[in-house]
Amino acid sequence: MANVLIIDDDQPTCEALAELVRNIGHEADFALTARDGVAKAEGGDFDVVFLDIRLPDANGLSILPTLRQRQLPPEVIILTGLGDPDGAELAIRNGAWDYLQKPLSPKKILLPLQRVLKYRDTLRKHAKLPDTFDRCGIVGTSPAITNALEKLASAARSEASVLITGETGTGKELFAKALHNNSRRSSGPFIVVDCAAIPATLLESTLFGHVKGAFTGADRPSQGLVLKADKGTLFLDEIGEMSLDLQKRLLRVLQERRYRPVGANHEEESDFRMVAATHRNLGTMVDGGLFRQDLLYRLGAMVIELPPLRDRRDDIKELAECVIRRICAGYGVPPKTLTCEVVDVFTAYDWPGNVRELGNVLESSVANAYEMPELYVHNLPEQLRIRILKESMSRNDGGSACLADAPDETEIDNAIQADGEILPYKSFRQEVLTRAEQRYFTRLFEACDGNIKQASRLSGLGKSRLYAQLRKYGLEKD
C-alpha cells in the first residue's frame, strides 16, 4: 500500500483525488498551501506527491527541491491548468515524474499513478548502494548526496558517457574517480584533462597528440591523452570551456573512437569511456551558440548533478572532521575536535565555494590552532569571520521578519523599569532581546511542530544551537 500526498489550493480537487487514491487501496492526505504541504511531506513517508503549480503562498515548482530532499524522495507529479513548456522543462529538471494538465479525469490520474508506484516498488529493492561500492573518500549521508551516489552507482554499471554538473568546488573530479573505480574499467587508466587550465591552442594536441614538426615547438611526437585513456576513462573537466572547433573533433571521436593526431597522415584508435564535468549550464550555452547540441546529447547520456554544500548541511560536521583528520595527519599532529560554536558557524554559513572552500578554511584554521586540541571560532580565517558577522548583522538589521517577533510597546514600557526604577540601558536591551528571542523560538517550534530539521532549515541555525534554545526557554516536548 502506497502513501500519497496532494498539494492543491482547490479543496474539492484534493478531496476527489484523495478519494480516487483510497478507492484503489492506498492512503491519501492533502494540503491546501505550499507551507502545509512541505510540513506534511517532511513529517510523513510519502511515495507520491501530486503538486499544483499555482498555490496561494508559493509557486509549486519552488518547493519541488524541498519535497525531494529525502534519502528515498517521493515521486512528484505536477498538476497545472497552464500549458507552460518552460514550466514543464523546469519540473522535469528538478526531478518531477510527470506533468499533467487540468482538467483531470480518473484515467488521466490513474495511469501515471500506477506506473510510478510500479517504479517505486522496483526502486525500493535496488535503492541501496552495493556493499562493494567504493566511495573514494566521498563523505556524507544526506539525502542530496545519497541520491547523487545512487545515480553514480547506476552509471558505473554501464558504458555510457556521463556528464557531471554542479557548482565549483562540489567534488566533480572525485565523483568521476569514484565512477571509474566502480566500473568495469577500474583496472585501466583514469586520465584527467582540465579544459580550463590548458590554452585553447594547446588543448587539441594535448588530447589527440601530434607528430614531430606539426607546429612550432613540436620537436618530438606526442601520444596524446585520448590514446593514453585506452581501456580506461577519459575525464574532461570544465568541458564548457572548449572551443566549438574542438567540440566538433571531439564529437567525431566519441562517435567512431578514431581520430587523427595533429599533423599526422594516419588515424589512431582508442577504446575509452568519456566522463565530462562542468559548472556551467550547457543547455543555455547551446541556446547562445557556444556549445554544440549534438555533443551535449552525446555527453549527457547519463547526468549526475552534485548538490552544493548549502543543500547538504547535515553532512558538514562529518565532512569537516574528515578533512581535519587528513590535514592533521599531514602536519603530524593529533586530530583536532570542533567546538559546538564552530559547528554552528559552519552549518549556518552558505559556503559559496562548497567543499573546496571548507577544505581551505580548515587548512588555515588547523595552522592557526597548531598547538591546540580543539578548533575555536577565533581560529577561523579572519575574512570568514568578518563575512559571517556582516551576514548576521544584516539578517538582524530591523527587517520586517524581525519586527514581527519584537515585543510590543506595552512590553517595552514594562521592560524599561523594575520596581519603579529605570533600568540601565544594557539591562533594558538584554531584557527586550531575551523576550523577543523567546517569542521567536516559541513560534518557530510551534510552526515546525518541534521538527528540529525543519526548524534548522527555516531559521538557518545549527541543530545544536536549536537544542540549546529548547532547553533555555523550556520548549522541550514531554
pLDDT digits (tens, 9 = 90+) for 333-347: 999 999 988 998 898
Residue range 114-138: mean pLDDT, rounded:
79
Does residue 283 sit in the same domain as residue 381?
no
Residue range 429-453: mean pLDDT, rounded:
77
Does residue 200 sit in the same domain as residue 333?
no
Map residue 359 onto helix, strand or coil.
helix
CATH number at residue 17: 3.40.50.2300
Residue that wins the pLDDT comparison between 96 and 359: 359
Give how far Cα 148 sits from Cα of 9, 74, 241, 347, Å: 32, 16, 24, 21
Per-residue pLDDT reduced to its tens digit, 259-285: 999 999 899 999 999 999 999 999 889
121: CB partners within 8 A, 6+ apart:
none
Residue of 124, 146, 170, 129 lying closest to 68 (CA atoms): 146
pLDDT value of residue 413: 61
Number of structural domains (the chain) is 4
Residues 53-92 as b/e (b if ≥16 CB within 10 A, e otherwise) read bebeeeebbebbebbbbbeebbbbbbbbeeeeeebbebbe
- Confidence grade of residue 182 (pLDDT, cut at 50, 70, 90): very high
Residue 137: inside a domain: no
Half-sphere exposure of 256 (CA within 13 A, CB side): 12
For the record, the C-alpha cell of 396 comes out as 538582524
Residue that wins the pLDDT comparison between 327 and 437: 327
Does residue 207 sit in the same domain as residue 113?
no
Does residue 391 sit in the same domain as residue 415?
no
pLDDT value of residue 125: 62
CA dist 221 and 267 (Å) reads 14
Task: Write out the DSSP string of 164-196.
Answer: EE-STTS-HHHHHHHHHHTSTTTTS-EEEEETT
Residue 135: inside a domain: no
pLDDT value of residue 124: 65
pLDDT value of residue 422: 74
pLDDT value of residue 37: 92
pLDDT value of residue 446: 74
In whole angstroms, what separates CA 422 from the centre of its chain?
52
- What is the H or E stretch that residue 20 is in? helix 11-23
Does residue 168 sit in the same domain as residue 285?
yes
Examine the pLDDT at 84 and tell me if it is beyond 90: no
Asked which of 36-50, 97-111, 395-409 is least confident by mean pLDDT, the reply is 395-409
- Give the pairing of strands 258-259 and 374-375: unpaired
How far from each other are the two terminal CA atoms of the chain, in whole angstroms? 32
Examine the pLDDT at 128 and tell me if it is beyond 80: no
CA dist 202 and 392 (Å) reads 47
CATH number at residue 316: 1.10.8.60
Examine the pLDDT at 82 and tell me if it is beyond 50: yes
Does residue 157 sit in the same domain as residue 293?
yes
Q: ω into residue 103 within 30 of 0, thus cis?
A: yes
Does residue 44 sit in the same domain as residue 173?
no
Residue range 94-109: mean pLDDT, rounded:
82
CA dist 176 and 50 (Å) reads 35
Residue 132: inside a domain: no
Map residue 53 onto helix, strand or coil.
coil
Per-residue pLDDT reduced to its tens digit, 392-404: 655 555 443 333 3
pLDDT value of residue 420: 60
Residue range 457-467: mean pLDDT, rounded:
76
Residue range 414-438: mean pLDDT, rounded:
70
Residue of 170, 127, 43 lying closest to 450 (CA atoms): 43
Does residue 353 sit in the same domain as residue 230?
no
> Phi/psi class of residue 351: alpha, beta or left (left: φ > 0; alpha: ψ in -120 to 50)?
left
- Confidence grade of residue 183 (pLDDT, cut at 50, 70, 90): very high
Residue 64: inside a domain: yes
Question: What is the strand order of the sheet 233-237 is part of?
Answer: 190-194, 233-237, 273-278, 162-165, 302-305
CB atoms within 10 A of CB 191: 19
pLDDT value of residue 229: 96
- Confidence grade of residue 415 (pLDDT, cut at 50, 70, 90): low
Residue range 249-259: mean pLDDT, rounded:
92
Does residue 156 sit in the same domain as residue 293?
yes
In whole angstroms, what separates CA 350 from the centre of its chain?
12
Examine the pLDDT at 364 and tell me if it is beyond 90: yes
Strands of 287-365, DSSP E? 302-305, 337-338
Residue that wins the pLDDT comparison between 423 and 274: 274
Residue 133: inside a domain: no
Does residue 7 sit in the same domain as residue 99?
yes
CB atoms within 10 A of CB 234: 27
- Confidence grade of residue 463 (pLDDT, cut at 50, 70, 90): confident
Give the end of a domain, one of 307, 341, 367: 307
Is residue 199 classed exposed, middle or buried when 0-12, 13-18 and 19+ CB atoms within 10 A define those classes? Answer: exposed
* CB 302, CB 163: distance < 8 Å: yes
Give the amino acid at 259.
Y
What domain range includes position 384? 310-395
pLDDT value of residue 402: 37
Residue 136: inside a domain: no
Residue 185: inside a domain: yes
Residue of 157, 156, 166 lying closest to 281 (CA atoms): 166
- Confidence grade of residue 477 (pLDDT, cut at 50, 70, 90): low
Does residue 297 sit in the same domain as residue 258?
yes
Residue that wins the pLDDT comparison between 405 and 209: 209
pLDDT value of residue 453: 78
Give the end of a domain, one of 335, 368, 395: 395
Give the end of a domain, one of 92, 126, 160: 126
* CB 279, CB 168: distance < 8 Å: yes
Task: Write out the DSSP string of 406-471.
Answer: S--HHHHHHHHEETTEEPPHHHHHHHHHHHHHHHHHHHHHHHTTT-HHHHHHHH---HHHHHHHHH
Does residue 273 sit in the same domain as residue 383?
no
pLDDT value of residue 120: 80
pLDDT value of residue 419: 59
Residue 332: inside a domain: yes
